[in-house]
């Protein structure tokens, strides 16, 4: 019989951050624009959307792939993979890993995407149809479109031989990536993991598909005010794109190499609505269970949470059900708690949403600032009024604990919890 192991869970800290978003091509620019309440929305430029019901999105702006790879390599990478490498590169350098000595056999990558290379598939199938069914497919088609390929590219770029995979849980995907990294490190199976996610799916099939589901806002006359979480006139989400990465590291390992520490990750929680393919449970059951499990995992009470970055996509059903889940767990009038919906600025980054919103939670904990919810002019009658939605402007507030909520089609619910680093 195998000898039983006694496992002491290790502490996990965040030592590096990277971001490429509709609000900026670095963490600093993204954070500045978030705090200033800037919207990243505008007319779609990536394809001719004139015939679509929704003709706007939150696109990344001014991204130059040649800063990261030569033209030949860039052609072999779908946009989501290019974004992944850019965000991971910033996080890696921010953590000082580019100059540090560490065991690369114990350093890995867990990097998510929900849909992978949809633009590449669109491009190839349109070309196939235009040439009357004559096969002209690229030999790079498959490695460009598969969702796991970004994790592979990142590991190759930095020579990391440890844990390497891509979780897929729709819009909860990159929260699952961050949570998986947290768990592998605290179980002692890795010292460092590059965790995050990317999406570059502003293309014909993606916009068309979500539009056909009536999931997207159609406020074409005023895109910058289209994402309006909790508002009585909200009519759907605004699609976003980009990437974000966090360097998660075992505490003693980070301390030994003198790494700067942004925050400590203290818990993760999961649940499922088990209700509908695309709609959230009307009472937010999965969200409630996932948040409750995250608190239990972190060993804290609801009263200790200062900030929740809500999933809140600006859909009529989703925003209301998430608020209900918060009221159930935190109470009718939790005066200690602030929430905000930063998708009102970034748009919905699909599988990358959890990564950027985890990063936002880390920054809120570090800087003691709650980023705002913008565009909400008249809170819907169905939205519980006892929750501080941080409307309009960022607010200074001591943030000791922050949680990121993410939910995906299929009923997937995943939560990440972070705490102010105290040594």
Q: Residue 216 and residue 50: Cα distance in Å, rounded?
A: 15
Which residue among the candidates 153, 253, 281, 311 is catalytic per the annotation? 311
Q: Determine phi and psi for 391, rounding to 5 degrees.
A: -80, 135
**Alpha-carbon distance 175 to 240, whole Å?**
17
Separation CA 203–CA 381 (nearest Å): 35
Query: What distance in Å separates the CA atoms of residue 410 and residue 245, rounded to the nearest whole number?
Result: 25
Q: Is 413 a catalytic residue?
A: no
Do the Cβ atoms of 199 and 349 come closer than 8 Å? yes
Both tokens of 95, joined, read 């953590």
Measured distance CA(371)–CA(307) in Å, rounded: 10
Count of CA atoms in the C-beta half-sphere (13 A) of 149: 20
Distance set, CA 53 to CA 49, 60, 132, 215, 228 (Å): 8, 21, 28, 11, 18
Beta strands per DSSP E along 273-355 = 307-309, 338-340
d(CA 391, CA 383): 14
**Whole-angstrom Cα distance, residue 183 to residue 9?**
9
Put residue 159 in one of left, alpha, beta given phi > 0 → left and psi -120 to 50 → alpha: left
From 58, 166, 171, 361, active-site residue: 171
What's the rounded Cα separation, in Å, for the pair 311 and 170?
Answer: 13
Residue by residue, DSSP assigns 42-64 as EE--SS--TTSS--EEE---S--
**Helix and strand counts by DSSP (H, E) for the chain:** 13, 14
Nearest to 51 by CA among 269, 180, 204: 204
Nearest to 80 by CA among 187, 166, 183, 13: 166
Is the Cβ–Cβ distance between 249 and 13 less than 8 Å? yes
Is residue 348 flagged as an active site residue? yes
Bridge partner list, 339: 308
Q: Active-site residue among 253, 281, 348, 412?
A: 348
Active site residue 171: yes
| Residues annotated catalytic, as ranges | 171, 311, 348
């Amino acid at each position: 019989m195998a000898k039983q192991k006694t496992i002491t869970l290790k502490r996990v800290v965040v030592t590096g951050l990277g971001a490429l978003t509709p609000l900026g091509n670095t963490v600093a620019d993204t954070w500045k624009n978030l705090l200033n309440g800037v919207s990243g929305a505008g007319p779609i430029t990536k394809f001719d959307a004139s015939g679509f019901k929704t003709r706007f999105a939150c696109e990344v702006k001014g991204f130059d792939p040649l800063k990261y790879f030569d033209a030949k390599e860039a052609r072999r990478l779908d946009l989501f993979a290019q974004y992944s490498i850019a965000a991971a590169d910033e996080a890696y350098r921010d953590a000082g890993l580019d100059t540090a000595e560490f065991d690369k056999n114990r350093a890995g990558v867990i990097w998510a995407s929900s849909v992978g290379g949809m633009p590449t598939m669109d491009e190839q199938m349109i070309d196939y149809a235009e040439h009357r069914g004559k096969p002209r497919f690229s030999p790079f088609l498959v490695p460009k479109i598969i969702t796991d390929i970004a994790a592979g590219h990142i590991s190759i770029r930095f020579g990391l031989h440890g844990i390497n995979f891509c979780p897929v849980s729709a819009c909860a995907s990159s929260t699952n990536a961050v949570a998986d990294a947290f768990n592998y490190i605290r179980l002692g199976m890795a010292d460092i993991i590059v965790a995050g996610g990317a999406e570059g799916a502003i293309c014909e099939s993606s916009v068309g598909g979500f539009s056909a589901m009536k999931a997207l806002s159609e406020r074409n006359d005023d895109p910058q005010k289209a994402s309006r979480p909790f508002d009585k006139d909200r009519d759907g989400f605004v699609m976003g794109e980009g990437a974000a990465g966090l360097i998660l590291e075992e505490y003693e390992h980070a301390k030994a190499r003198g790494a700067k520490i942004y925050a400590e990750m203290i818990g993760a929680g999961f649940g499922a609505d088990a209700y509908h393919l695309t709609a959230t449970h009307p009472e937010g059951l999965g969200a409630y269970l996932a948040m409750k499990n995250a608190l239990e995992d972190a060993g804290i009470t609801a009263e200790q949470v200062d900030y929740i970055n809500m999933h809140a996509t600006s859909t009529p059903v989703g925003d209301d059900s998430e608020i209900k889940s918060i009221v159930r767990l935190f109470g009718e009038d939790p005066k200690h708690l602030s929430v905000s919906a930063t998708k009102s600025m970034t748009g919905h980054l699909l599988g990358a949403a959890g990564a950027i919103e985890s990063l936002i939670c880390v920054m809120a904990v570090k800087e003691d600032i709650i980023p705002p919810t913008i565009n909400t002019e008249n809170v819907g009658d169905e939205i519980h009024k006892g929750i501080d939605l941080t409307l309009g402007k960022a607010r200074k507030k001591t943030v000791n604990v922050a949680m990121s909520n993410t939910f995906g089609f299929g009923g997937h619910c995943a939560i990440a919890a972070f705490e102010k680093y105290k040594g």
